[in-house]
Amino acid sequence: MYKISKVLVKDLIHINILEKQLKLNTTKLDFFNQTLLNQNFEFIKLVLENQIIGFLYFSWNKSDCDIISIGIVEAFQKMGFGKKLIEYLINLNFKNIYVEVSANNKNAIIFYQKLNFSRIGIRNKYYKKSNSDAILLRLLK
């Protein structure tokens, strides 16, 4: 059985390891501590058998939510755990849920489209390192 709960400072090292494995930007301790003080940011973890296998970091205002980062341990991908994290957000009853994905990240685009996210915009050459566009998606309810 899995459990979703808030990320604690002691969890950050495990989240950083996962971020590195997934080739994501790592969350710095100073930044994490700042977000703890801001009620409009939340960092959650998905735990299975006492192991952090996923995380979701998001920000929100009264009606909208922006997914900042999401990740699932590779061995547990395509098993529905990423969907569980998105369902957590859906159950918070935001009017809109947005995410931005590199046009090069085909797996992420397919993941979000399967969850009923739709393309609403593009930021040309947004990602400088990879010279790729950012695809803006919004959850359709």
Q: List, for residues 58-85, the tens digit of each pLDDT value.
A: 999 989 999 999 999 999 999 999 999 9
- Measured between alpha carbons, how far is 93 from 70 in angstroms, rounded to an integer? 19
**Mean pLDDT in the chain?**
93
Q: What is the pLDDT of residue 73?
A: 96
- Measured between alpha carbons, how far is 68 from 84 in angstroms, rounded to an integer? 16
**Domains recognised in the chain with CATH numbers:** 1-78 (3.40.630.30), 95-141 (3.30.70)
Query: What is the pTM (predicted TM-score) of this model?
Result: 0.91
Q: What is the pLDDT of residue 48?
A: 97
Q: List, for residues 42-56, the tens digit of each pLDDT value.
A: 999 999 999 999 999
Q: What is the pLDDT of residue 129?
A: 80
Confidence band, pLDDT 50/70/90 cuts, at residue 29: confident
Of the listed ranges 2-11, 19-28, 39-48, the least confidently predicted one is: 19-28
